[in-house]
Chain A
Amino acid sequence: MPLITSPHFDAGDDFYEALLAAHQGLDPAQSHAFNARLILLLANHIGRQDVLLEALSAAARSTSSEAPPAGAASHEDPHERT
């Protein structure tokens, strides 16, 4: 079973709202810790290593497509920027 990337939520908007609500009142460090616990819980639920690895690379790819990736920037001479 590959990683599902088509819409799959029972109620996506509801989940999104619940996610933000869960972070309400947390400082950045607490939010960070909360996210880590959430990732571990969900990862265990998914269980399958191939799906989890696909999710890891999809998350990494997604970052690099919307912002100048760290890797691409490093090809330029960093001294020109400073």
Chain B
Amino acid sequence: MNANPTVVSPEVDYQRIVYPYRRSADQDAHARGDVARHPVVVVGAGPVGLCAAIDLALQGVPVVLLNNDGRLSVGSRALCFAKRTLEILDRLGCGQRLVDKGVSWGVGRVFFRDAQVYQFDLLAESGHQRPAFVNLQQYYVEGFLVERALELPLLDLRWHHGVTGVESRDDHVALTVETPDGPYTLLADHVVACDGARSTVRRLIGQESHGRTFQDRFLIADVRMNAPFPAERWFWFDPPFHPGQSVLLHRQPDGVWRIDFQLGWEADPELEKRPERILPRVRTLMREASRAAGGDGAVPDIELVWASVYTFACMRMDSFRHGRILFAGDAAHGVSPFGARGANSGIQDADNLAWKLAAVVQGRAPLALLDGYARERELAADENLLHSTRSTDFITPKSEISRVFRDATLTLAKDFDFARRLVNSGRLSVPTTQYGQPAPDAPIRIDGHDDWLLRQMRPGRFTALVFDTPPPTKGGQRVSLGPEWGLGVQEGSPMPRGEPALGLPQGDVEVRPPRELPHLPHEDEPVLLRINDASDPHGLVRARYDAEPGLVVLLRPDQHVCARLHHPTAAELHSAMRRALAHDVALEETPACR
């Protein structure tokens, strides 16, 4: 591993940093006529590739991460990181840095012409560690992930090593890698392609993404200014300061704001990128927005930090797995920016893939498990594409009649709740539940201190939540938590608002402890987490898992629920884990293997 002198202090300017090229031992081997072979090579050190590589290394898999240059992302780009993504980054050891540096938000406002139509709160309930969203420039996220990667001895991060050739062979892939010292060959048992929307690996194997391209242009501008707005997402349809188009405003750290102007297809991208075109737009916006917020319309000093004009397409590859090459992130699928579903879904791809690839590499699961990755994330991509396409159709009506219905919806939204639900300024990223729900987080008490449920999981391990005792009860009736927890009040047992469901006597609910849990070999044995009055004093774990005594909820290493079993026998729990590891699939498809 490289000792890395570029490890940086928190004040580092991630926009200017250039990570240096280093010659790898594999190149010396190549010079001697040898070829190095690695279990996993990840291509592309963006957020998705970094997450995949870190996750694999944490699970004991040696991994080479290649990147064709030495720079981090330019401009704010992805910006909005969703709660589920933060939970994944927590698992990788970076979540807290993102939250500390980023701007947390959960409230959005929607304006139509000159008036607010409504506002929404994405995470109205308490009892969650992470907010609905954190806004943070992509280069910070990448910088934090790089620093995390450099802490891991199993992760070999190679800057200025660009893939220029891919050849799939029987049980491995041969990569040609171009460097300042010339090319070398590298063999990989598995390749994870995270090399972005214009994926080189995808092109080299003759694949492409299919879908819909939208004929519209958007200007994205990062501006530094001292503005008095709260940390919220503000979206305007057809505002007076930008008639006929849409505008989106987001707050970023460092006093920077992200503003997204829809320009229309006729706009000249080169012209619109010029500061003398952008700054008047921003000043007009600030004047109007200040008045809308009850201010005097004063415009602060504005400094343009970064701007770009973009178009987008909603598309994906037909299959995310091609033999031993697995595609993730923008390389596999592209969405519109409305809904923050790009980087978030890419990181969720990495989350889904890493534990499966680790299990395959370590001989704990058959190759069929990788088909499970492709199938699950293709479904997730379809869901993201559906939402993203619908948002785009609402935001940028393609015909006169679609504009009439769009405006009718916005007009009705001022008065009627049903119409607010139809307003689509971006359905903001939430994880798919097509193949099982990500485990809800909840406060938990472990060894006498307060902690969080998801923090108790271990890299690469399954977790079994064992529910020992019933939820808190009152007079024999099951207690539901009050609306301050956002859980609503169950019929028949209303709790006054604000009254906590703590320390209540247990009723006559029969308590049946789960049977003795099975003993499974070493790393295949799930981490057991007992949920009872001691570990779950608020009852929130039991409420969120709808638990009765004797329930065992099995969580995959990527924190997805894969089984709910009532008083399971050893064989039943074992079987659920084998199914999650695709063993039974392998038995069906290739009986000769056993």
Q: Which residues of A contact B (CB under 8 A)?
A: 32-33, 36-37, 39-41, 44
Chain B 256-286 residues near chain A, CB threshold 8 A: none
Whether B409 and A40, one on each chain, are in contact in the complex, defined by CB atoms closer than 8 angstroms, is: yes
Judge if B178 is at the interface, Cβ distance under 8 Å: no
Judge if B8 is at the interface, Cβ distance under 8 Å: no
A41 to B411, CA, bound (A): 12
Task: Specify which chain B residues have a CB less than 8 angstroms from the CB of A39 in the assembled complex.
Answer: 405, 408
Q: Which residues of B contact A (CB under 8 A)?
A: 404-405, 407-409, 411-412, 416, 418-419, 422
Whether A36 and B418, one on each chain, are in contact in the complex, defined by CB atoms closer than 8 angstroms, is: no
Whether A36 and B404, one on each chain, are in contact in the complex, defined by CB atoms closer than 8 angstroms, is: yes
Task: Specify which chain A residues have a CB less than 8 angstroms from the CB of B408 in the assembled complex.
Answer: 33, 36-37, 39-40
Task: Specify which chain A residues have a CB less than 8 angstroms from the CB of B409 in the assembled complex.
Answer: 40
Whether B412 and A41, one on each chain, are in contact in the complex, defined by CB atoms closer than 8 angstroms, is: yes
A32 to B407, CA, bound (A): 11
A41 to B316, CA, bound (A): 36
Chain B: minimal CB distance from A47 (Å): 9
Whether B419 and A40, one on each chain, are in contact in the complex, defined by CB atoms closer than 8 angstroms, is: yes
Task: Specify which chain B residues have a CB less than 8 angstroms from the CB of A37 in the assembled complex.
Answer: 408, 411-412
Task: Specify which chain A residues have a CB less than 8 angstroms from the CB of B419 in the assembled complex.
Answer: 40, 44
Closest to B405 in A: A36
Task: Specify which chain A residues have a CB less than 8 angstroms from the CB of B418 in the assembled complex.
Answer: 44
Q: List 11 A-B contacts (CB under 8 A).
A: A33-B404, A33-B407, A36-B405, A36-B407, A39-B405, A39-B408, A40-B405, A40-B408, A40-B422, A41-B416, A44-B419
Task: Specify which chain A residues have a CB less than 8 angstroms from the CB of B422 in the assembled complex.
Answer: 40
A47 to B387, CA, bound (A): 20
A33 to B411, CA, bound (A): 10
Chain B: minimal CB distance from A70 (Å): 15
Task: Specify which chain B residues have a CB less than 8 angstroms from the CB of A44 in the assembled complex.
Answer: 416, 418-419
Closest to A34 in B: B408
A25 to B68, CA, bound (A): 66
Task: Specify which chain A residues have a CB less than 8 angstroms from the CB of B412 in the assembled complex.
Answer: 37, 40-41
A39 to B419, CA, bound (A): 12
Task: Specify which chain B residues have a CB less than 8 angstroms from the CB of A41 in the assembled complex.
Answer: 412, 416
A44 to B418, CA, bound (A): 7
Chain B: minimal CB distance from A43 (Å): 9
Task: Specify which chain A residues have a CB less than 8 angstroms from the CB of B404 in the assembled complex.
Answer: 32-33, 36
Closest to A37 in B: B408
A33 to B405, CA, bound (A): 7
A40 to B422, CA, bound (A): 10
Task: Specify which chain B residues have a CB less than 8 angstroms from the CB of A40 in the assembled complex.
Answer: 405, 408-409, 412, 419, 422
Of the candidates B404, B409, B411, the one having the most CB atoms from chain A within 10 angstroms of its own CB is B404
Chain A: minimal CB distance from B327 (Å): 34
Closest to A29 in B: B404
Of the candidates B405, B408, B411, the one having the most CB atoms from chain A within 10 angstroms of its own CB is B408
Chain B: minimal CB distance from A69 (Å): 18
Chain A: minimal CB distance from B293 (Å): 29
Chain B: minimal CB distance from A29 (Å): 8
Chain B: minimal CB distance from A34 (Å): 8
Chain A: minimal CB distance from B350 (Å): 35
